[in-house]
Each structure stands twice: as C-alpha cells, then as structure tokens.
Structure 1
C-alpha cells in the first residue's frame, strides 16, 4: 500500500517542500529497534530519501508491530504492507528455493554465503520471488548457527553421538541431528535454559548473539563453531507497490537496498564479535578449528531427502563450487 502524504501548507519554503514525503513505504521487521536488520532498512530509507529529494520515504516498524514474519510476508504479497524483512525460513512454504539454499553445511563460511548471494545465483533466487508477488531487494546476514552443550567440547561427529539437542520444530533440523547421530528435541526457545540446567537436554544450537542474550552460556559452556546452518535474511517488497514506482525510483531503491546490505552485515559482524567476547570472558569454551568434512559427509541422507529435482541438485552443486 503506497501512502501519499505531505500536504503543502501556505508559507512553506522550498526546502521544507523537498522534505515532504510524496510516497511512504511501510516496512515490517520482527526484531527490536537497534537490531542489525532494522538498522539496515533504516540505512536504506535514509539513502532513498536523500536520493529522491525527500519524495520517497520508508517507515520502519520494528518489534512485530505489523505482525509476525509469516503474517507480514502474506500482507506484503497482497500489498497491504509495502516491504518486509524476514528470514528465508519463513519463505520456505512460499518460495521452495529458499529451503534448498538453507540446507545444513551448504556454505563453508559466511564469506562463502555472501559470494553466493551477491553473484548470479543470488539473482536467480531473486527471480523466484517474482512469481509470488514479491520483489527481492537485499540479502541480509542472519548469522551462523553452531552447537553448544553442557557436557564436553565437540570436535568430531563422534562427539555428538547420543547427545540430546534442542532444535526448532523443523523437519530439516530434526533430520540433520539424526544424521549426525544425536537426538533432536524440539521445544520452545524459552524452555531451553532450564532444560539444559536440569539435564533434560545436553545443549542447543544458535549464533553467538542468541547464545549470549539468552543466558545459555551460563549453563552450556562448550560452544563449537561448526556453523552448520546459515539461513539468509531477505528484504522484499510488494510487487504491487513496486510497480507503482517510476523506473527511476525503482533504480534508487535497488541501489539503496544493495548498499544497506553492506551496512547490515557490518553491524551483524560487530554484534557477533561483541557477544563472542562477552561469553568467552564469562567462561565459555569455544572450539574453533573444526574439520567439517565428516559433518558434511554425514548430511548425504538429508540432501537425498530434500534435494530431489535436477534443478535443485544443480543449484546445490553450483553453490558448493562457488569460490
């Protein structure tokens, strides 16, 4: 929904008129104000406003003010909301390719992930959104999920055998744990701390900022930087709203979105580093040099189950071959 605003008042100056928004785009985010994804879209908004002389504005609504991710994606598809920032995980049921590119151990590092998304493969993925009334504008960093537990350092696949890990209620996550010889225990995020503390589970998996902010580092001091899952974040726009913009304004939005990804990734990297330093200072033991070869090889049955078409197989192969 494009909102036209900015009434011309008697006596206003030219500078004031330039600051009035002719078009206001509403953008949703579930994260709180100040979070890297929110600040990324704010950076995009600032650039768009500057380059359009104040004609086009983006208003960011953080903290799920407009709804949770799946709801706001649907509203964006229908043009009720103009833009949404959401995890690829929330698009799995809408755009199938998002599940393929979010498989375990698909990326060697976060740099590898960025190389994939910023190149031809990223452009291909973006085209798949158009058939679902969405325009993909920017790929943000959602961090890398790694294992942590209360029992011992994990350096090999064998170290995981028989251990109980909390995972999200997601078939890929459950199958990943099974392939590694561990036991998946889906449960609400809020129950993880007490479940580790009382021995109901041995550990969980997430990124450093979540490991820190949740307090899980207090009860599970062994963190293994295996980076088994990297799920991209996406800034998408309603196709209906997009088509109401002039080609010139569309070009401005694309460029600003691309630049905002650089801002967001830097903020995320800073947040990861700060959280890592904090948990290490409080006594967490981080295992960094993990040989992922055996972990990757263990994913064969997972890939066989979820990568079933020739197109998906080719995509996985090209991602793995990206330097």
Structure 2
C-alpha cells in the first residue's frame, strides 16, 4: 500500500480546529501537499503564503506544507482534497482537465500573444470563472501561480523545427490536449509521471520532454538532456486549489485571510519566477546544455489544425474571448 494511503487513512481531517489556549481561541491548520522540490520558486512562494496568512490571522491560521510528492501525485492529492483528507495543493491547470474540462484551454499551443496577455486573462472574469468551475467536483481554485512557458528538451536528437520531432517519443503530462499537440507536430506523445521521468530519459524510454526552464533545472533533467529548444509552445498556469469540504468549514473572516494571502503570494511568486527562469537557463547552459532559439512560426503553423478542430466545441467561445482580450491590449 502506498505511503500516502497509510498516512491519510489514519488522518480524520486535514482541517484541524482546536482550542489552543485557555480562552478556547480557534486555531486553524490546513495541510497543503505538492510535488516540487523545496528550492523551487513555487514552494518558496507557498512558504511566503503561510507567513502572510499567519500575520493576517494573528497566528490563528497556518498552512502545513508537504513538498516533494510526499503525499502522492497531483491527481492522487486532488482525490484526497475531494474526500477531505487533504486541504490544499498546487497543481498544473492540465491536471485539472479531468475535473474541469474548461481548463483544457490552457494546454492549447500559442494561445497567448505574450506574458502580459497571459496575466490579463488570468486576472479577468475568465480566469476567475475557471477557478470556480471545479466546485461541483468539490475543489475550488484560490489563485494562479506563474509557470512560464513550456519548451522541448531532448537527450540525443537536436530539435529545431517540427520536422525534427517526427517519430520522437516526447513525454507529456496526462492531458489529452498535450498529447494531441505533440502528435500534431509530428512527435509521439508519451505520458509519463513526473517522478519517473528522469529515469525514462536516462534509459531512452522517451527521447525528450517539455517543460519550463525552472522545472528543467530543478529536476536535474539537464543532466541527461543536452538540447533545450525555446519554442514556448504553451503557457499553462499552476493553480492553488482547496477542497470545498475544507473551504466551507472556514469562517468568512478566515476565507478572507486565506484569499488575501493567496493574492500576496501570487505577486511574490511572479518575481521569484522571473528570477528563477533567468537563473535556470544560465545554469543549464553552464552545465553543457545547448539552448536553441526556435522559429516559432514553424511550430505555430504545425498546430493550426488544432484550432480548426475546436469549431462547435465548448472551448471555441472561450478561445475567442481570450483571443479578443489579446487584441484589445
């Protein structure tokens, strides 16, 4: 039996409400799990969120953070949120597709004009509506973290154009949209869990993967992948999610404190992310990785059929709204 099951089968609730002193003052602890390293800017930003939350609440609220996949995969933790055995988590928007189909929009290639368009969308009614779309499935988005842009990295074959992806096994997240994108470009999309990816690259089970620079660096995938193509095909945000079983138990004031801490953590994380991206590219280049600047028009042209296939689907009006927002900049 997996460790996380052993741990949480004996945990009655992830929301701990207890009398912490003689005046019976309510103290609320919320358990938060994620799969990233403690040096990752996302983890540091969650630590900052906890510090802000404690300050706002006068020490009556806190987050207890479990990093480095101690509890399980993103999907496993989401399932724990649904039953109330875990309070919060950080997941990629792609991991939410099974619960919130509208989240598929973020996995569409070259959706945003630039970083300003990306954040304009996330901060709009579109972004807020998507955060709340998971409530029927017992999960609620609190806010977004920047996850930059995802690009291809490969072990042995240099990729400079879609033609170079032909037949190459590329690891993708468990997202049908990501699978369709890589296959449309000519590659052979191969879902592999994040924790198994280093070995899969090392053993040649896949010939490459795709992710943002900090994840490429902190995962040490650069040790076995010597080519990094900056094609920046998708910009998929991270989402900080809370289980509705926990959210609904919070008092209105506690919900307000948590929401404010989320907002401040997002602004903090934006700065850390920009610094980390620059540092990561420098570090992997120093380690011998060849960084290649892509001709993005070649990749954009190769996936145009994906947008044609959206006609008449639930994503078509959402894409149109996001595109229109970019045109109004």
TM-score range, shorter chain: 0.7 to 0.9
User: 1:282 corresponds to which residue?
Assistant: 287
Change (3 A) 1:313 1:280: same
**Rg comparison, structure with higher value:** 1
User: 1:58 corresponds to which residue?
Assistant: 63
Contact 2:107 2:177 in 1 (8 A): no
Contact 1:109 1:227 in 2 (8 A): no
With normalisation by structure 1, the TM-score equals 0.83
Output one character per residue of 1:272-315: Cα deviation in whole Å (capped at 9) or x when no partner: 22110012223333233x4423422322333344x364541011
User: 2:323 corresponds to which residue?
Assistant: 320
Q: Distance in 1 between matches of 2:288 and 2:319?
A: 38
Change (3 A) 1:132 1:315: same
User: 1:267 corresponds to which residue?
Assistant: 272
User: 1:193 corresponds to which residue?
Assistant: 202
Q: Distance in 1 between matches of 2:30 and 2:223?
A: 42
Output one character per residue of 1:227-277: Cα deviation in whole Å (capped at 9) or x when no partner: 112222111112222222222221221111011112223222222221100
Q: Distance in 2 between matches of 1:253 and 1:183?
A: 42
- Deviating above 6 A after TM superposition, structure 1's stretches of 4 or more consecutive aligned residues are none
User: 1:249 corresponds to which residue?
Assistant: 254
User: 1:92 corresponds to which residue?
Assistant: 97
Q: Distance in 2 between matches of 1:182 and 1:80?
A: 39
Change (3 A) 1:130 1:68: same
- 1:218 to partner: Cα distance: 5.1
Pairing of 1:1-12 with structure 2 (within 5 A): 1=13, 2-8=15-21
Task: State the secondary structure of the residue aligned to 1:67.
Answer: coil
Structure 1 portions without partners, runs of 5+: 10-16
Q: 1:295 aligns with which of 280, 299, 302?
A: 299
With normalisation by structure 2, the TM-score equals 0.82
Task: State the secondary structure of the residue aligned to 1:3.
Answer: strand
User: 1:238 corresponds to which residue?
Assistant: 243
Answering whether residue 145 of structure 2 is matched by residue 140 of structure 1, we say yes
Q: Distance in 2 between matches of 1:80 and 1:161?
A: 42
Contact 2:96 2:103 in 1 (8 A): yes
Let me know the Cα RMSD of the aligned residues: 2.7
Q: Distance in 1 between matches of 2:105 and 2:177?
A: 10
Answering whether residue 42 of structure 2 is matched by residue 29 of structure 1, we say no
Q: Distance in 2 between matches of 1:217 and 1:147?
A: 12
User: 1:13 corresponds to which residue?
Assistant: none
- 1:213 to partner: Cα distance: 4.4
Contact 1:221 1:285 in 2 (8 A): yes
Contact 1:27 1:60 in 2 (8 A): yes
Answering whether residue 118 of structure 2 is matched by residue 118 of structure 1, we say no
Change (3 A) 1:136 1:147: same
